[in-house]
Amino acid sequence: MYFAPLTVVSVIRNKNIYYATLDPNYMKTSIYVHFLQAIFYAILSRSEVMCYITIVINQIATASILSLPLPMFAFLWGSLSVPRPSKSFWVTCITYIEVVVVSKYIFQFGFYPWNNVQNISPFWWPRFLGIEKMDNYANYDLLLLLVLFFHRFMLKVLCCFLFLGFYLLLTLYFCRVLACGTFRRLK
């Protein structure tokens, strides 16, 4: 059997063969739409990376003692967990962000004495702690909370958020079975 080389003429002549598997709507949409869809699916597949990026952006924007534990959680617990961070890590991050938002809200009231003083020093203790009164005080924290809830939703859809420990034990069991070659019980 002889295969002819693929040329422009042969593709044009046999266009129905090459495009038979494609959806007709696929060919009508723009390449930019396909590119945006690919980016969207890449974000969906690696939503934990979006969480880590948002944690770093939050720390850069707020830069206070109150927001400092989150990058420490991400780099010293989350990114060092093998194969992925556990459910307790994500619950801890969500709970901590909720506590930060509530504490920043409580310190926005005007009856605290430091809220009436204007100080431009970056080492002024309410600014250093992250409890000074300002407009848009929790925007980055709420964005981070939104991204964390989105990641939690993705884990729940994939059934990784509910029984992660069970699936890990099941995977270890089957790895042991494959390594031993028998179906003996684990001790």
Q: What is the pLDDT of residues 38-69, one digit of tens each?
A: 998 888 888 888 999 999 999 999 888 998 99
The Cα–Cα gap between 43 and 181 comes to 39
Cβ atoms of residues 58 and 144 within 8 Å: yes
The Cα–Cα gap between 15 and 22 comes to 11
How many Cα atoms sit within 13 Å of 41 on the Cβ side? 6
Per-residue pLDDT tens over the stretch 131-185: 788 888 888 999 999 999 998 888 888 776 665 455 555 566 655 655 555 555 5
The Cα–Cα gap between 180 and 9 comes to 57
Rg, the chain, Cα only: 26
Segments making up each domain of the chain, as ranges? 47-180
What pTM was estimated for this model as a whole?
A: 0.67
Asked whether the predicted pLDDT for residue 115 surpasses 70, the reply is yes
The Cα–Cα gap between 57 and 68 comes to 12
Which amino acid type is present at position 82? V
